[in-house]
């Protein structure tokens, strides 16, 4: 395999080739995402929700992110592996942000880090980039700020927030971020943002006018039934298929159908 690099993504945007990105948090899933040809694998702090069952992304720790990321890295031959800096591991000051990023790079073998925010964290982004660590930005609905927002609804519908987002996108490009995630904002605003910079814009709930798309793998495989935002396309109903299969196993054990004569020694 020819490995995907941060440079490959910038070239893909220049060539108008869309970028595919999915999350993964473990070895087995990451191996499948990589084998299927997904360009970027995000070890998202959404692990806090889908792996650990927390209501928000805030509780997951840096150690836990490193555990997930190192499992993913061991499976991946081609994709670029980006790791979320979790809440509390970078907001205090640029030195803490750098220290946390270095731990991710050394202990997990990931290829880049992702942080939520714009101008508020520009000194941290600079510091991380100066150490040679690639940074992916994340603007719009930034789930680590859920207690500030109060809801998970669409962001930047108002003029002022939209203006700040466009400025932050340009700032992140100027600082040297290699890509930016825009989450749950109006499609027209996301398209305008994507057209205003050379750095690739990866959308989630941000429409088709951007340079790539990202989804949480458990959501796109239909592993949970409760989460159904408009932006989510389900490619399987794994919840139904898996609970069905597990139910069949339980029934076969109960009825002594499993194991049969050819399934024993
Ligand atoms: O943690 C995550 O899954 C993310 C994506 C939704 C972009 O940050
Ligand atoms: Na995240």
Q: What pLDDT is attached to residue 121?
A: 98
In a domain, 188, yes or no: yes
CA distances from 253 to 36, 248, 256, 264, 265 (A): 34, 9, 5, 14, 17
Sign of the torsion formed by the C-alpha atoms of 220, 225, 227 and 232: positive
CATH of the domain at 55: 3.20.20.60
Q: Is 114 annotated as a binding residue?
A: yes
pLDDT at 1: 74
State the pLDDT at residue 36. Answer: 98
Mean pLDDT of 81-109: 98
In short, whether 101's Cβ falls inside 6 Å of ligand 1 is: no
Annotated binding residue at 46? yes
Atom of ligand 1 nearest to the CA of 46: 1
How many domains are contained in the chain?
2
84 annotated ligand binder: yes
Kindly identify the ligand whose nearest atom is closest to the C-alpha of 46: 1
What's the confidence (pLDDT) of residue 249? 99
Residue 164: pLDDT over 80: yes
Cα dist. 136→14, 31, 148 in Å?
Answer: 18, 22, 22
Domain range holding 51? 6-234
CB 108 within 8 A of CB 70: yes
Only one residue has tokens 């990866």, namely 202
The residues carrying an active-site annotation are: 183
Cα–chain center distance at 186: 19
Tell me the CA–centroid distance for residue 247 and ligand 1, in Å: 31
Co-location of 16 and 142 in the same domain: yes
Residue 1 covered by a domain: no
Mean pLDDT of the 47-65 span? 98
Quote the pLDDT of residue 203.
Answer: 98
Identify the pLDDT of residue 226. 87
At 23, which helix (H) or strand (E)?
strand 19-23
In sequence order, what are the residues at sequence separation of 6 or more whose Cβ sits closer than 8 angstroms to the Cβ of residue 5?
A: 80, 111
- Among 41, 56, 87, 181, which is best to mutate for testing ligand 1, by the most ligand atoms less than 8 A from CB? 181
Closest CA to 220 of 32, 23, 46: 23
**pTM of this prediction?**
0.98
Residue bearing the CA closest to ligand 1, atom 2: 44
57 plus 176 within the same structural domain: yes
Q: Tell me if 77 sits within 8 A of 27, measured CB to CB.
A: no
The DSSP line for 83-130 is EEPPTTSSSS-HHHHHHHHHHHHHHH--SEEE---SGGGHHHHHHHHH
ipTM of the complex model: 0.99
Query: Are 13 and 104 part of one and the same domain?
Result: yes
9: CB partners within 8 A, 6+ apart: 19, 39, 40, 80, 178, 179, 200, 212
Q: Which atom of ligand 1 is nearest to the CA of 116?
A: 8
pLDDT in tens, 179-237: 999 999 999 999 999 999 999 999 999 999 999 999 999 999 999 988 899 999 999 99
Q: What per-residue confidence (pLDDT) applies to 118?
A: 98
Q: How far apart are CA 180 and CA 169, in angstroms?
A: 8
Beta strands 112-114 and 135-140 are parallel
Q: Whose CA is nearest to atom 8 of ligand 1?
A: 44
Q: What is the pLDDT of residue 225?
A: 86
pLDDT > 70: what percent of the chain? 100
Q: Are residues 180 and 199 in the same domain?
A: yes
Q: Among candidates 217, 220, 224, which has minimal Cα distance to 239?
A: 224
Q: Which residue's CA is the nearest one to ligand 1's atom 1?
A: 44
Yes or no: say if 80 and 8 are a contact pair by the CB < 8 Å rule. Answer: yes
3-state secondary structure 205-251: CCCCCCCEEEECHHHHCCCCCCCCCCCCCCCCCHHHHHHHHHHHHHH
Q: Are residues 161 and 258 in the same domain?
A: no
Q: Are 80 and 112 in contact (CB under 8 A)?
A: yes
**Pair 125, 247 in one domain:** no
């Amino acid at each position: 395999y020819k490995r995907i690099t941060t440079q490959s993504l910038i070239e893909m945007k220049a060539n108008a080739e869309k970028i595919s990105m999915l999350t993964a948090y473990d070895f087995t899933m990451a191996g499948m995402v990589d084998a299927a040809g997904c360009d970027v694998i995000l070890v998202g702090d959404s692990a806090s929700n889908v792996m650990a069952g927390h209501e928000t992304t805030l509780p997951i720790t840096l150690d836990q992110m490193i555990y997930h990321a190192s499992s993913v890295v061991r499976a991946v031959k081609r994709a670029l592996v980006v790791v979320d800096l979790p809440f509390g591991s970078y907001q205090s000051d640029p030195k803490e942000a750098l220290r946390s990023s270095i731990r991710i790079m050394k202990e997990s073998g990931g290829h880049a880090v992702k942080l939520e925010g714009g101008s508020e964290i520009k000194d941290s982004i600079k510091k991380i980039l100066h150490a040679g660590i690639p940074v992916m930005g994340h603007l719009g609905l930034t789930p680590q700020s859920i207690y500030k927002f109060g809801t998970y609804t669409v962001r930047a519908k108002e003029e002022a927030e939209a203006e700040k987002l466009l400025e932050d996108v340009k700032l992140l490009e100027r600082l040297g971020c290699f890509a930016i995630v825009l989450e749950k904002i109006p499609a027209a605003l996301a398209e305008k943002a994507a057209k205003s910079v050379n750095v690739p814009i990866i959308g989630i709930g941000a429409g088709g006018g951007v340079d790539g798309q990202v989804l949480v793998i458990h959501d796109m495989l239909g592993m949970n039934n409760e989460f159904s935002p408009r932006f989510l396309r389900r490619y399987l109903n794994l919840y139904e298929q898996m609970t069905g299969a597990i139910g069949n196993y339980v029934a076969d054990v109960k009825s002594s159908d499993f194991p049969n004569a050819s399934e024993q020694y």
